[in-house]
A = this chain, B = another copy of it.
Amino acid sequence: MKIHVGPVGAPELEEAVVAAGGELSSLREASALVWYGAGPERFGEFHHSGIEWVQLPAAGIEPWLEAGALGGDAVFTSAAGAYAETVAEHALALVLAGARQLHTDARASSWQRPEGIRTVFGATVGIIGAGGIGRSLMRLLEPFGVRVLAVNRSGRQVPGAQRTIRADDAEGVGELLGSCDHVVIAAPATASTDKLIGAAELERMQSHAWLVNIARGSLVDTDALITALAEGWIAGAALDVTDPEPLPDGHPLFGEPRALISPHSANPQHLLLPALARRVRTNVARCLAGEPLEGVVDLSAGY
């Protein structure tokens, strides 16, 4: 299978093509195109009738749809979900750091085992917002045999979750929070998710539970969280996002022994290309094996 990477070459992507068994070629001879380094506006110059499959570099393809770049007989795949993995990894890192009290270890200057070390094996994990990041996190948690309780907008059952609650079912969400050992926020920031986790929600959580936020700072009421941590309503909070963000120097969360702040580092710029390379490698391998591709764009649905 002859594959062209362009209009701008990227060694990582070319290596991924070759590692999966694909053959790099000129654009003219290619039957597949891994588009990289330019937006949709130049796509017309490159797309030709011999191209059967196009891998796009973005997770959201609205600009491509708006530019009318997608169409014809080719199959298009996006990077949807590919960038979620690294955020999910960060979420798992924070969950485990909390369970294992690594934030306390990191600050210690003497040999003393922190109290409250827990195992994630068999734990109950609440995932608020079960989109791409939440689903990736569930895959990473699978070997731990956890019980996942999910919250999403529709209330439609999330595959792999033991129970799924509608976000607007306040009583259901409260009950869920009360039975979780770890609560991970992975929902988009919208008007209806603003301060989704406030004092009432933090009060429902168990005193050994951790709150992990890798979504947006606005989903948590910071003042309520500061109180919850100071008074020990919950065991800790690991936050990749905050409100305000960046947290100003001297902010109480920096001095809070129960808090671990990672400064929006779940998905840094330099990890985007490796994530895309993994998607390319997977899809080239699947293409060669005749298996369904990941992230196939449904033009009628618009994503």
Residues of A within 8 A of B (CB): 85-86, 89-90, 92-94, 96-97, 99-103, 105-114, 117-122, 139-140, 142-145, 245-249, 254-255, 260-265, 268, 270-271, 274-275, 278
Interchain CB contact under 8 A, B143 and A268: no
Name which residue of chain B comes closest to A245, CB basis: B111
Contact A263 B121 (CB under 8 A): no
Extra pairs beyond A86-B121, A111-B263 (11, CB < 8 Å)? A86-B119, A97-B102, A102-B103, A102-B106, A106-B107, A108-B261, A110-B249, A111-B246, A114-B265, A121-B274, A143-B143
Partner of A102 from the list B145, B260, B271 (CB cut-off 8 Å) is: B260
By the criterion CB–CB under 8 Å, are A122 and B278 in contact? Answer: yes
Give the residue name and chain of the B residue nearest to A271 (CB).
B119
Give 13 A-B contacts (CB < 8 Å), ordered by A residue.
A89-B96, A89-B99, A89-B100, A93-B99, A102-B260, A105-B265, A109-B254, A111-B248, A111-B249, A111-B261, A117-B268, A119-B271, A121-B278
Q: Are A113 and B274 in contact (CB under 8 A)?
A: no
In angstroms, Cα B143 to Cα A102, docked, is 23
| Residue from A90, A119, A245 whose CB has the most chain B CB atoms within 10 Å | A119
Copies of this protein in the complex: 2
A93 to B102, CA, bound (A): 8
- Residue in chain B with minimal CB distance to A122: B278
List 9 A-B pairs, minimum CB-CB distance, nearest first: A111-B246, A106-B106, A93-B96, A103-B106, A93-B100, A105-B262, A111-B263, A113-B265, A113-B263
Contact of A112 among B107, B113, B260, B263 (CB under 8 A): B263
Chain B residues, Cβ within 8 Å of A110: 249, 254
Cβ–Cβ < 8 Å partners of A105 in chain B:
260-263, 265
> Taking each of A94, A111, A113, A118, which has the highest tally of chain B beta carbons within 10 Å of its own beta carbon?
A111
In the assembled complex, the CB of A282 is this many whole angstroms from the nearest CB of chain B, namely 9
Please give, as numbers and ranges, the residues of chain B lying within 8 Å of A119 by CB-CB distance.
85-86, 89, 271, 274-275
Verify B278–A145 contact, CB threshold 8 A.
yes
How far, in angstroms, from A139 to B265 measured CA to CA in the complex? 26
A275 to B144 Cα, complex, angstroms: 12
Chain B contacts of A263 at CB under 8 A? 105, 108, 111-113
